[in-house]
């Protein structure tokens, strides 16, 4: 798997973090677990705790399915009652965080895709004594709301990695497709591409909740501008839409995408897309739950309060054999 130099170091750190968390959580690893201390219903020597995860996207989204699976698997070993909810609208997401506060949960995992809408209620949770870990988006706002830390990909760095990859591939003009307006993480990705790409980048906003409409918008743009030789999508489902749009427009543009799922791996194998940026969503869910458990049981803070990066990693057709194994079980 090829990565940027910076990303390679960061991912190595994350790999060590996962190994450490796996060893520090679970049945026999908590201090005192071997001294006859009573164990909870899952065999863990710490009391059961409740953790709520509130994201800006959820059911039916393959990316968030993977995040959730990581969180659920960490919860199973940590004696955690895990609660999940999501809403793409900032106001509604804030209400879900408030509901978690009202339930007096022991910890909250939250995304900050639309920070203006949720930061006040997140700060309210912290003030109420509920530890918070932010994941995936809005890393720059995490410390300000009082979170223990942030787990995810630095979107600007990821975008810059894409720009560098496009340069290496000799690309000249890229279309960066933003599928959710107002999502700061998506905007940072396209801005990062522009920063390092030697060619030109044009952003295209599409209606992400309407895939046929999104496909039509991309196809129309490719028909109108034959100079576009690359389409960069910011989510795995939009790679497939762009492949379809390219065919409809009679374009030869390369399709590249952020995020990974089983379908993207198939597209890499078939050479329908050039490369994907993997931010390892399983890690985001797993480490967030583990951090809250470790913080409660042992006062630990993963990364010392600094962002713990889970990406970016550039994956290509060369990585397909390994990726097929993990996507088949829903963890990549």
CATH number of the domain within which 287 lies: 3.40.50.2300
In a domain, 324, yes or no: no
Residue 104 DSSP code: T
Q: Write out the two tokens for 152.
A: 């995810």
Give backbone dihedrals phi and psi of 262, rounded to 5 degrees, phi first: -60, -40
Q: Is the pLDDT of residue 26 over 80?
A: no
Q: Is the pLDDT of residue 226 over 90?
A: yes
Q: Write out the two tokens for 11.
A: 């991912």
Among residues 232, 254, 278, which one ends one of the domains? 278
In a domain, 319, yes or no: no
Domain of residue 199, residue span: 155-278
Please, are residues 97 and 85 in contact by the beta-carbon 8 Å criterion?
no
Q: Write out the two tokens for 144.
A: 């300000």
Q: Is the pLDDT of residue 33 over 50?
A: no
pLDDT tens for 97-106 read 999 999 999 9
In a domain, 297, yes or no: yes
Please, are residues 63 and 31 in contact by the beta-carbon 8 Å criterion?
no
Do 74 and 161 fall into the same domain? no
For the segment 228-239, the average pLDDT, to the nearest whole number, is: 96
In a domain, 332, yes or no: no
In a domain, 38, yes or no: no
Do 175 and 140 fall into the same domain? no
Q: How far apart are the first and last CA of the chain?
A: 14
Q: Is the pLDDT of residue 42 over 70?
A: no
Do 306 and 230 fall into the same domain? no
Do 88 and 228 fall into the same domain? no
In a domain, 325, yes or no: no
* pLDDT given for residue 62 in this prediction: 84
Do 62 and 173 fall into the same domain? no
Give backbone dihedrals phi and psi of 217, rounded to 5 degrees, phi first: -65, -40
Do 224 and 289 fall into the same domain? no
For the segment 110-129, the average pLDDT, to the nearest whole number, is: 96
- The helix-helix angle for 320-328 and 262-269 (nearest 10°) equals 150
Cα within 13 Å of Cα(149), Cβ side: 22
Q: Is the pLDDT of residue 312 over 90?
A: yes
For the segment 175-197, the average pLDDT, to the nearest whole number, is: 94
pLDDT tens for 241-266 read 999 999 999 999 999 999 998 999 99
pLDDT tens for 270-284 read 999 999 999 999 999
* pLDDT given for residue 60 in this prediction: 64
- Greater confidence (43 vs 197) lies with 197
Do 227 and 136 fall into the same domain? no
Do 253 and 181 fall into the same domain? yes
Task: Give the number of domains in the chain.
Answer: 2
Do 250 and 290 fall into the same domain? no
% of the chain surpassing 70 pLDDT: 86
Radius of gyration of the chain (CA): 20
Do 133 and 66 fall into the same domain? yes
Do 133 and 168 fall into the same domain? no
Residues, the chain? 332
Q: Classify 151 as helix, strand or coil.
A: strand
CB atoms closer than 10 angstroms to residue 142: 27
Do 21 and 149 fall into the same domain? yes
Cα within 13 Å of Cα(65), Cβ side: 13
In a domain, 35, yes or no: no
In a domain, 92, yes or no: yes
């Amino acid at each position: 798997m090829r990565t940027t130099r910076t990303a390679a170091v960061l991912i190595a750190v994350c790999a060590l973090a996962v190994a450490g968390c796996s060893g520090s959580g679970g049945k026999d690893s908590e201090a005192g677990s071997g001294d006859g201390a009573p164990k909870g219903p899952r065999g863990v020597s710490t009391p059961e705790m409740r953790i709520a995860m509130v994201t800006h996207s959820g059911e039916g989204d393959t990316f968030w399915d993977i995040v959730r699976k990581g969180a659920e698997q960490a919860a199973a070993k940590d004696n955690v009652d895990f609660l999940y909810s999501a809403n793409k609208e900032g106001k509604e997401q804030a209400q879900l965080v408030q509901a978690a506060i009202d339930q007096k949960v022991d910890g909250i995992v939250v995304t900050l895709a639309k920070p203006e809408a949720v930061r006040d209620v997140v700060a309210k949770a912290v003030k109420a004594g509920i530890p918070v870990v932010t994941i995936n988006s809005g890393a720059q706002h995490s410390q300000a709301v009082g979170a223990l830390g942030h787990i995810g990909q630095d979107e600007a760095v990821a975008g810059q990695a894409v720009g560098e990859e496009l340069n290496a591939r000799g690309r000249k003009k890229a279309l960066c497709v933003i599928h959710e307006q107002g999502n700061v993480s998506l905007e940072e990705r396209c801005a990062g591409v522009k920063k390092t790409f030697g060619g030109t980048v044009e952003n295209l906003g599409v209606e992400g909740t309407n895939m046929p409409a999104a496909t039509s918008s991309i196809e129309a743009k490719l028909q109108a501008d034959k100079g576009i030789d690359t389409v960069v999508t910011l989510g795995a489902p939009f790679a497939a839409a762009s492949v379809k749009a390219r065919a409809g427009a009679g374009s030869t543009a390369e399709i590249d995408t952020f995020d990974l799922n089983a379908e993207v791996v198939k597209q890499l194998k078939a050479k329908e897309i050039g490369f994907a940026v993997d931010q390892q969503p399983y890690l985001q869910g797993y480490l967030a739950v583990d951090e809250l458990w470790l913080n409660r049981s042992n006062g630990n803070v993963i990364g010392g309060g600094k962002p713990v990066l889970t990406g970016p990693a550039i994956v290509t057709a060369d990585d397909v054999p390994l990726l097929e194994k993990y996507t088949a079980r829903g963890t990549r």
